[in-house]
Structure 1
Amino acid sequence: DMSEYMEKHSVSRLIGAPPGYVGYDEGGALTEAVRRRPYQVVLFDEIEKAHPDVFNVLLQVLDDGRLTDGQGRTVDFRNTLIIMTSNLGSEFLV
C-alpha cells in the first residue's frame, strides 16, 4: 500500500538507508526482496499516493531494469514483474 510511502524519508524504507544512518545494514524492503528472489511479482497498490521521490526510484527500475540500493549494490529487476494500481479516475466508472 503506497500510502505508507507518502513522506520523503519513507523512500529509504524501499531502497535502504544511506551510509551513516540508522538501519543502513538492514537494506530496503523492495531491494532486499528482489535481490533475494528476483523471479517475483511486485504490486504497488494505489501508486498515486506515493511521494514523488518514490517515482524517481521506480523510474530507474522501469528505465534500466535495475536499482542501486542504499549500500551501493545494484539489484537486477529484469526478471521481476511490476504491477501498479491506482484509484485515479474511479469516479468516472459506471
Structure 2
Amino acid sequence: MVAFLVAEVDRSMPKMPPFMRDGTEMDFDGLREETASAVGESGKTQSEIARELDLHRSAVSRAVKESGPRVQKIQRRVLRHLTPYRVEQRTYFKAQRED
C-alpha cells in the first residue's frame, strides 16, 4: 500500500483554505482530490500553473483528473507550489497469514 503524508508547513506561504492539514494521510485518490482542490482554490488557470512549474498544461490537467503512480510526482509538485505543504510518499507492507 502506498500512502502520502502531509509533512511540512511553510509559514511564509499565503494562507490557503483548510483542505489539507499537517499530518494528513491519503492514498492516490486522496492525493488527486487535494491537487484538484488546490488548483481550484488557487484562482490560477492550469496553464498558469504549468508555466510556473515548467510543465505542459496537459500534465496539470492529468494531475487533477487521474490517480495513481504515473501522476503522483506532478501532483506533489503542484501541491508544494500552491500550498504551504510538502507531501511525502510512504510505502507500507502488510503481512497476511496464508491459512
Smaller-chain TM-score bracket: under 0.3
Quick one: higher RCO (CA 8 Å, sep 6+), 1 or 2? 2
